[in-house]
Structure 1
């Protein structure tokens, strides 16, 4: 009887994993068609020309006010920029893309990920939720790009989350490497993470914690952090199935059962890394102000788990702003409460000296 149940569970897990793999292959195939297709509408792909070709024609320069050397505050002149502008996207790695308003050529060292042309704007590192659609990410990126930021999006697949040593940890190393080699006084950093993105940033901090002195300047360059529907380890079994199979309850339950089996069985290659990343996220290397955005009705990024993180950070002297809506789906607070979301976000950015004229900024959205 026991062997029969075990065999049934293995068959079900195999079917679920096969479905996930087929889904991921389809997604990867669609991404490989073209970056322009991956980022539709206002997104444009810029390819660096070969040395023998003519250089890219420069666009009309947009007038940006100078940044404060200390805080890189965006000035009043930036408010006059037109709202409808194209966004250029540049692939840094398979899972990292740099989005900016300017159409420019981006060249990098493939080993260090150092850009040959320095970034000259504040940088938002945006950790996506699982299976996030490009159009959804575009809406958040546009908020920041309209205010003069560059945005680097970071994504991971369900497979990478399930096998962190061969997945999320490799992405985390690339994120830290890029920031270490490209962040300076001209472009302080803001973190904006969604859902499982909190776990990915935890893996980034695990990597940096092995040599804190080396990464001290990078850590100090982070001005603030925004966590939207942040997910804790115990909620992965709820969040991952809903992300992979959002409209199929049967497959959600099958994947949930497998993930519970996965956590119990693969402690060394998987579970222990989740626990460590969760612990480092709760203790955090970044002692800068944070904004939590969540909902009482969200079982994935639960109030309980976020409250524990908030309490831990506040006990370490970190200022934590908190907005919890009564009813709003997971990572959908902006869609449900657009005005409230942007009011809170711009107020927070103003409080950490990342923007000026918060009221005027809000009027542009």
Structure 2
């Protein structure tokens, strides 16, 4: 069990329609709407949350507060179903803004990536844009210290995950939307599916070589252990250190809700092993 001081205060600021910033300090910095540069950057390290589809602000705040209570700032990136369906005008635009923010705000170091579900695809889109100019973006990659993946979903799970995210309690609508998703991916191969495939390939090969922690459960059809295990094997072949926490029963992108103490214990241990706890001067008592 891990415990730390709860500072309770949480300041929230919408940076773009798809990016929400959280900090434990009063947010009084101006943000350039074109460059996304903070005029008065904080000295805190940053957690980049790549959110699940249909993530509510209420739930994002819960995850953000895990980190703000430890002294991190948090940027949560969230996309809509429409943006996922039409990547060129949707998720790729959000990816460009995400990369722009990390590039221009150089004071944010180290950076922790904490992704959920479709957030794996979204980070793949970010990395594809990085790959076009590695010399330019190497400073962003150098500042990333570790990564956490909660219920990461691959492209094969998109027709399953999207309907469950939009209609969590309506099986009939889930079935109808699942059929449409299959039609969409087949009919709009060049406009959508090819981008999902490229992002998936990038996620499996990854530019982020820092240690990773995976949270999965046996009963999750959207982010099953099998697809996450495939990523793990690819990363370990690339000499990336990977930790894997698999529950027999849990809930997609809600392991923290179902297994709070274990989740926090694994997370804190991972952050400590990657050396990011020292960067925020966290005073913590932990039994690991």
Flag whether TM exceeds 0.5 (same fold): yes
Seen in structure 2, the aligned counterparts of structure 1 residues 359 and 191 have a Cα distance that, compared at 3 Å, is closer
Q: Is the 8 A contact 2:109 2:144 kept in 1?
A: no
In 2: Cα distance, 1:80 partner to 1:194 partner: 24
Once the 2 structures are TM-superposed, how far is the Cα of residue 362 of structure 1 from its aligned partner? 5.9
Q: Normalising by structure 1, what TM-score? A: 0.75
In 1: Cα distance, 2:191 partner to 2:281 partner: 46
1:108 aligns with 2:31: yes
In 1: Cα distance, 2:20 partner to 2:282 partner: 30
Could you tell me which residue of structure 2 aligns to residue 265 of structure 1?
A: 187
The one of 68, 71, 75 aligned to 1:145: 68
Seen in structure 2, the aligned counterparts of structure 1 residues 261 and 81 have a Cα distance that, compared at 3 Å, is closer
Partner secondary structure for residue 247 of structure 1? coil
**Which deviations, in whole Å up to 9, do the C-alpha atoms of 1:126-161 show, x marking residues without a partner?**
011111122221111111011100000111000100
1:295 aligns with 2:195: no
In 2: Cα distance, 1:154 partner to 1:129 partner: 9
Q: Normalising by structure 2, what TM-score? A: 0.95
1:361 aligns with 2:284: yes
In 2: Cα distance, 1:329 partner to 1:268 partner: 33
Which is higher, the Rg of structure 1 or of structure 2?
Answer: 1
Residue ranges of structure 2 left out of the alignment (5+ in a row): none
Could you tell me which residue of structure 1 aligns to residue 117 of structure 2?
A: 195
In 2: Cα distance, 1:108 partner to 1:217 partner: 21
Seen in structure 2, the aligned counterparts of structure 1 residues 362 and 133 have a Cα distance that, compared at 3 Å, is farther
Seen in structure 2, the aligned counterparts of structure 1 residues 106 and 198 have a Cα distance that, compared at 3 Å, is same
Seen in structure 2, the aligned counterparts of structure 1 residues 87 and 257 have a Cα distance that, compared at 3 Å, is same
Seen in structure 2, the aligned counterparts of structure 1 residues 273 and 362 have a Cα distance that, compared at 3 Å, is farther
1:179 aligns with 2:179: no
The one of 247, 250, 259 aligned to 1:337: 259
In 2: Cα distance, 1:314 partner to 1:307 partner: 10
Q: Is the 8 A contact 1:346 1:361 kept in 2?
A: no
Seen in structure 2, the aligned counterparts of structure 1 residues 80 and 319 have a Cα distance that, compared at 3 Å, is closer
Q: Which has the higher contact order (CA 8 A, sep 6+)?
A: 2
Q: Is the 8 A contact 1:296 1:327 kept in 2?
A: yes
1:89 aligns with 2:1: no
Once the 2 structures are TM-superposed, how far is the Cα of residue 183 of structure 1 from its aligned partner? 2.7
Q: Is the 8 A contact 2:4 2:284 kept in 1?
A: no
Partner secondary structure for residue 191 of structure 2? helix
Seen in structure 2, the aligned counterparts of structure 1 residues 179 and 358 have a Cα distance that, compared at 3 Å, is closer
In the TM superposition, 1:204-283 aligns within 5 A as 204-283=126-205
In 1: Cα distance, 2:223 partner to 2:3 partner: 37
**Aligned Cα RMSD in Å?**
2.0
The one of 249, 264, 271 aligned to 1:349: 271
When structure 1 is superposed on structure 2, of 230-239 and 96-105 the one drifting more is 96-105
Once the 2 structures are TM-superposed, how far is the Cα of residue 98 of structure 1 from its aligned partner? 1.1
Seen in structure 2, the aligned counterparts of structure 1 residues 358 and 239 have a Cα distance that, compared at 3 Å, is farther
Partner secondary structure for residue 310 of structure 1? helix
